[in-house]
Structure 1
Amino acid sequence: MMVSVILYAVITGFIISVLISPFFIPFLRRLKFGQSIREEGPKSHMKKSGTPTMGGIIILFSIVITSLVITAIFSELNKETYLLLLVLLGYGLLGFLDDFIKIALKRNLGLTSLQKLIGQIIIAIIFFLVLRAHDFSTEIQIPLTDFSFDLGWGYALFIIFWLVGFSNATNLTDGLDGLLSGTAAIAFGAFAILAWSQELFDISIFAVSVVGAVLGFLVFNAHPAKVFMGDTGSLALGGAIAAISILTKMEVILLIIAGVFVIETLSVILQVASFKLRGKRIFKMSPIHHHYELSGWSEWRVVVTFWAVGILFSILGIYIEVWL
């Protein structure tokens, strides 16, 4: 029964994204909601200037409709579903504002770093307060051991760090056609399996709704991309997967399953630290996917390789959590 529900959710999410994209993409183009390309980025990306962005709206619409409808029909809507939608839409709205400022006000960097950070923190605090009101466990379990530690009120700081960190990590990963769409589908698919193994069916339905939505979006986002998800999609996906790891109490496992996002973030941190401390860069450009581009790899080769790495990380995370 549950296998059928999962398939319904994936297929529904996919179909919604595929059906509305051909209508929404021309709408974005008519509004001149085209992507501005950063001058310091790879020169090959300049040809992407003007490609419609804010396609994350397609993803969010598909996820919300799919998760609510499928859950209502086959399960029961509860606080987990609403919490995940809160984080998804909260970070999605923040990303939308960032994208809108870039496009409408012609400010290429969008919201300031402080404005974005404050918004991310506020959403994370609301998420924590709801969990606290329902006596949610503040313990963190270390995989492969019987050891866990209780953070108490410090768990609030952890949630802020986790949601802010991973929303920014997925934002950094969204730099090539189809890169984030594919790696997000893989990571959410892994958590759908893990949530299902714990009989957390509502969370599993939400996760596979994301898989279907981003795969449908990938049809139009694969190289050469006809639309970009923008911060509207990337911030929302990062916040949502961090929230899933918290609700399933698999926070540490997220570091493995989302290994591609972690590596992308570390490459930026290492690049900045090395340049400030030594005056030298480690990579030709960061995030690291640009390093491989500038090393002569085609964009498609970089994306497919990162997808493959994401699959390996996901398999490892599932193996550690379920079988070890």
Structure 2
Amino acid sequence: MVDFFLYFGIALLVALFLGPVIIPQLKKMKFGQAIREEGPEAHLSKSGTPTMGGLIFIVAFMTPSLIFLDIENSLVQLLWFSVLGFGAIGFTDDYLKVVKKHNLGLKARQKIVLQLIVGIIISVIAYGNSSETWVPFLDAPVDLGLFFIPFIIFISVGFNNAVNLTDGIDGLAASVTSVVALFFASVSFEMGQFQLAAINLSMVGALVGYLKFNWYPARVFMGDTGSLALGGYVVGMAIVLKMPLILVLTGIVYVLETLSVMIQVVVYKRTGKRVFKMSPIHHHFELSGWHEKKVVYVFTGITFVGSLVGYVILL
């Protein structure tokens, strides 16, 4: 039996160790975050806070697997490629932002093209393992055949950007995703996939350790390096477990964040009016008077409820 607490503990300790090592180096290299002028005014004081802190939990997450797991396992390789592939796109984006000292980085078209490339590779690898996927309320998985490939590409790119949108408040993306990781760990255990359960607990430990430095007021931001890597983890694990559709429930916050942006853009273009004070929706609640920590607590609670509903449906 896999020692789950060992995976969690090692990832936690590595994250706690790396924080005081990496953050001063990011400051020394002046890898500070530029804050969007059109964002909440209260965020302007955060300008210069070190970014690319996602490296902390990425390394911490991978360490237990490097020590104990068979990394030649195709499922582990798929997950790692998803994390590192999308994370590399985020790293490139962050690097360009830091070098240019403004909040641009990769152009939207460039980022989408790179995400599509990673998504295509993931879909082909996954298709080579199985083209089946779990559908709620059905007793057996459904074989999507060749449709599986475009379906996985859509899920990969869509949810990768959705997780990225969630990273806009201190501790939000890490807190929400730690609950998602706990959900995946529970499902993996129920399925008898004990190694996958251990990997998910590694992510929980890595994010808990990272939150020591990212909780309000944050000493470091994960940057696109971290948020896109987290998105890669979420979609990669959902694909490995053959249940990407469950992300609609356990990833309900990611969905709401994305929908708020889409609704805001469509309505504004058609009517010139805004539905929300600002999108993504976490900024709407900020401007409505909610403290950042309250937003994190509520959104994490919503994720827990969505995950619980998904878990009950699976059972």
TM-score computed with the length of structure 2 as normaliser: 0.96
Cα distance in 2 between the residues matched to 1:6 and 1:149: 31
Partner of 2:83: 88
Partner of 1:102: 97
| Aligned sequence identity (%) | 44
The unaligned stretches of length 5 or more in structure 2 are none
What is the Cα deviation at residue 107 of structure 1?
4.1
What is the Cα deviation at residue 149 of structure 1?
4.3
Out of 61, 67, 76, the residue aligned to residue 59 of structure 2 is 61
Cα distance in 1 between the residues matched to 2:90 and 2:241: 25
Give the secondary structure class of the aligned counterpart of 1:153.
helix
Matches within 5 A, 1:242-321: 242-321=235-314
Matches within 5 A, 1:156-167: 156-167=149-160
Matches within 5 A, 1:81-230: 81-134=76-129, 136=130, 138-146=131-139, 149-230=142-223
Cα distance in 1 between the residues matched to 2:269 and 2:139: 41
180-189 vs 246-255, which moves further: 246-255
Cα distance in 1 between the residues matched to 2:72 and 2:190: 19
What is the Cα deviation at residue 229 of structure 1?
0.4
The RMSD of aligned alpha carbons is 1.4
Cα distance in 1 between the residues matched to 2:200 and 2:119: 19
Out of 14, 20, 24, the residue aligned to residue 16 of structure 1 is 14
Cα distance in 2 between the residues matched to 1:196 and 1:13: 19
What does the per-residue CA deviation read over 1:114-165, in whole Å, with 9 as the maximum and x for residues that have no partner?
111111111111122223334x1x2333212347543322211111111111
Give the secondary structure class of the aligned counterpart of 1:26.
helix
What is the Cα deviation at residue 27 of structure 1?
0.3
Matched-pair contact (CA < 8 Å) for 2:89–2:114: yes
Cα distance in 1 between the residues matched to 2:205 and 2:249: 22
The unaligned stretches of length 5 or more in structure 1 are none
Matched-pair contact (CA < 8 Å) for 2:49–2:220: yes
Cα distance in 2 between the residues matched to 1:58 and 1:241: 17
